[in-house]
């Protein structure tokens, strides 16, 4: 399966041609997959887009830098109308909207997360969804790849979805419109250096 075919309808306005839904993948072993996704979310925020971030990571405390920055941008939006709203969730030991945070079953948590995202896609809740480290959920079989792709294929409107993570399954790469593979040339971690504030989180 290929990505979305180019739009040929000549009756579409320039604005419509500039607002086609994109399924975007940042994968590979090099650094920059998540930072590129959040950079895109910054651009989207400036467009006034509603943004939903779902981090499929173990620790909800990771990447507090971006989380804090987007929380501030959400407040700017609420107070001044500039930019768009930002909703941010990390899976951690349990999604933030669930009452129990004791749940550690990755399969159950992945399903809960995807159920919410599917509902939001059906309702066109956001203009951009960042599914950070989503590749691991798919590669580990916590969610069925075909079911996920079917939901994405049927999403209404012009909602963009960005997924990050190494080992993205081939079916996702085939279905995506835009795929970038980050290639590591070198990384300070190779020589045992510690992660750097501002560079890593």
Tokens 């995202």 correspond to what residue?
Answer: 117
Question: Is residue 89 a contact point for ligand ATP (CB under 6 A)?
Answer: no
In the complex, minimum distance from the CB of residue 6 to Mg ion, in angstroms, rounded to a whole number:
30
Question: Is residue 147 a contact point for ligand ATP (CB under 6 A)?
Answer: no
Could you tell me the CA-to-CA distances from 6 to 84, 103, 107, 190 in Å, in that order? 28, 43, 36, 41
In the complex, minimum distance from the CB of residue 165 to ligand ATP, in angstroms, rounded to a whole number:
7
Question: Is residue 187 a contact point for ligand ATP (CB under 6 A)?
Answer: yes
Question: Is residue 26 a contact point for Mg ion (CB under 5 A)?
Answer: no
Burial class (CB in 10 A: 0-12, 13-18, 19+), 156: exposed
Burial class (CB in 10 A: 0-12, 13-18, 19+), 171: middle
In the complex, minimum distance from the CB of residue 144 to Mg ion, in angstroms, rounded to a whole number:
23
The CA R_g of the chain, rounded to the nearest whole Å, is: 17
E strand map for 40-185: 51-55, 86-90, 128-132, 160-164, 178-181
Residue 77: contacted member of Mg ion, ligand ATP, none (CB under 5 to 8 Å, by partner type): none
Closest C-alpha to 110, from 81, 147, 75? 147
Q: Compare residues 100 and 183 and give the one whose CB is closer to ligand ATP.
A: 183
In the region spanning residues 18 to 37, those forming contacts with ligand ATP, defined by CB under 6 A, are 29-35
Q: Compare residues 34 and 50 and give the one whose CB is closer to Mg ion.
A: 34
Q: Compare residues 102 and 186 and give the one whose CB is closer to ligand ATP.
A: 186
**Contact present, 57 and 132 (Cβ < 8 Å):** yes
In the complex, minimum distance from the CB of residue 128 to ligand ATP, in angstroms, rounded to a whole number:
17
Residue 105: contacted member of Mg ion, ligand ATP, none (CB under 5 to 8 Å, by partner type): none
Question: Is residue 169 a contact point for ligand ATP (CB under 6 A)?
Answer: no
**Contact present, 128 and 159 (Cβ < 8 Å):** yes
Question: Is residue 34 a contact point for Mg ion (CB under 5 A)?
Answer: yes
Closest C-alpha to 143, from 161, 124, 121, 118? 118
Q: List residues near Mg ion by CB under 5 A.
A: 33-34
Q: List residues near ligand ATP by CB under 6 A.
A: 29-35, 133, 164, 166, 182, 184, 187, 189, 195, 200
């Amino acid at each position: 399966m290929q990505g979305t075919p180019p739009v040929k309808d000549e009756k579409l306005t320039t604005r419509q041609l500039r607002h086609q839904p994109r399924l975007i993948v940042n994968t590979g072993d090099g650094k920059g997959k998540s930072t590129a996704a959040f950079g895109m979310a910054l651009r989207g925020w400036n467009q006034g887009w509603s943004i939903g971030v779902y981090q499929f990571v173990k620790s909800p405390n990771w990447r507090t830098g971006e989380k804090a920055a987007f929380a501030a941008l959400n407040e700017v939006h609420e107070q001044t109308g500039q930019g768009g709203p930002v909703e941010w969730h990390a899976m951690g030991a349990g999604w933030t909207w669930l009452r129990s945070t004791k749940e550690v079953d990755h399969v159950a948590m992945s399903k809960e997360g995807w159920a919410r995202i599917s509902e939001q896609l059906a309702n066109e809740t956001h203009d951009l969804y960042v599914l950070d480290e989503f590749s691991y959920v798919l590669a580990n079989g916590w969610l069925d790849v075909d079911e996920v792709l079917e939901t994405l294929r049927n999403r209404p409107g012009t909602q963009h979805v960005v997924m990050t993570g190494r080992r993205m399954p081939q079916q996702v790469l085939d279905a995506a419109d835009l795929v970038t593979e980050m290639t590591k040339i070198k990384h300070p971690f190779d020589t045992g250096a510690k992660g750097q504030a501002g560079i890593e989180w």
